[in-house]
Amino acid sequence: MTEPEPSPQRRLGRPLTQGCVQRPGRLLQRRRRLFAASERIDLHKVAGVLGVGGKQVHLASEDDLARDYPGFELGAVPPFGGREDRVILDERLAARDSVVLEAGSHDWSVRLKAADLVRLTSAQVADITREKPASG
C-alpha cells in the first residue's frame, strides 16, 4: 500500500501534493487540507465546505504549526500522524490514482493510492482550489 521514497523535491523539483493547515475563527480547530502543489488554495471555498464565513478561515502561522506539530518539519506536516485533525482533500487529487505526500520531513515522502488516503484519513473530498484563468 505505501512505500517510502526520496523526497519529491529532490526528484522533481517540487512536491506533487502539499498539506496546509487553517484555523477557522477562534475555535482553534485545525483542518489539514491537501491539494496539488501546482494549484492555489481558495480559502472562500474552504470556508464554504466548513460552513463558516470566509473571514473566519485563514492559514495557520509558522509559529502555530511549530507549536501544534512539533514532531514534523515546517512545510512537511503529513495528513495523518500527530494531532487528530479533519482532512479536506481537493477533488482533483482524489481523482488521481496515487499521490506523493511529505512524510514529516523534507527528506522523505510516501506514495499511496488516493483512495487509501481518503480511507486512512476519513478525508472529506471537495473543490478547494482556485480556478485557473482561461488562457487566450
The three cell numbers of residue 72 are: 514534523
CATH number for 61:
3.90.960.10
- Tell me the per-residue pLDDT of 35-47, one tens digit each, with 9 for 90 and over: 887 888 888 898 8
% of residues, the chain, pLDDT over 70: 74
Average pLDDT value over all residues in the chain:
77
Give bridge partners of residue 86 from the DSSP assignment.
31
In a domain, 131, yes or no: no
In a domain, 78, yes or no: yes
- Tell me the per-residue pLDDT of 74-127, one tens digit each, with 9 for 90 and over: 888 888 877 778 888 999 989 999 988 888 898 988 899 999 999 998 999 999
Sheet of 98-105, strand order:
3-6, 108-113, 98-105
H or E stretch at 74: none
H or E stretch at 96: none
Number of domains the chain contains: 1
Whole-structure pTM value:
0.76
Instruction: Name the residue among 77, 67, 70, 66 with its Cα closest to residue 102.
Output: 77
